[in-house]
Amino acid sequence: MRHVWTLGLFCALLICSCENSDKWIALDTHDTLSFEGLFATAAYYGPIELNIKNGQFECLSFGVNGRSAGKVVAYNTVIDFVDTLVFATHVIYGPIFVLVGRYNYLYDGNNLKIQRNINGGVIKYELFAKKAN
């Protein structure tokens, strides 16, 4: 009877592990990575680019205040963008959609999904690895 229970438990674990086909991995911010995609809020959306290299990042969005750059750190499902450019433009021009601050993320080696709750809403980024030329 004990072997039947052990076999049943093994089968249940095997079935549960096969249900989720998404393989999320840790983002290594010391790699050289380039992404492009879209950001979206309830009121705005637009294209965005993200480049990461040696723990540094540059983010470009198409708008008045569409650039941020600085240090990036990722751990577990959290990613921090410590910007050195955006404070002055944010104060002068208003809302920003480049990556600045702490976000939750999921990465599968090709697709990078980033999101954060902000001011009662959500800002989401759907990014895809750029193809090498």
- The reply to whether 9 falls in a domain is no
- The reply to whether 3 falls in a domain is no
- The reply to whether 7 falls in a domain is no
**What's the confidence (pLDDT) of residue 100?**
85
- The reply to whether 15 falls in a domain is no
Q: What is the C-alpha separation between 68 and 61, in angstroms, rounded?
A: 9
CB 35 within 8 Å of CB 50: yes
Looking only at the bridges linking them, the beta strands covering 78-83 and 56-61 are unpaired
- The reply to whether 73 falls in a domain is yes
**What's the confidence (pLDDT) of residue 37?**
96
Q: What is the pTM of this model?
A: 0.76
- The reply to whether 80 falls in a domain is yes
Domain extent at residue 35: 24-129
Mean pLDDT by 10 residues, the chain (133 residues): 40 39 84 95 90 95 77 95 71 69 95 92 95 66
CB 122 within 8 Å of CB 116: yes
Structural domains counted in the chain: 1
CATH number of 82's domain: 2.40.128.280
Phi, psi values for residue 68, rounded to 5°: -140, 155
- The reply to whether 85 falls in a domain is yes
- The reply to whether 2 falls in a domain is no
Residue type, 3: H
The long-range contacts involving 80-88, CB below 8 angstroms and separated by at least 24 positions, are 81/57
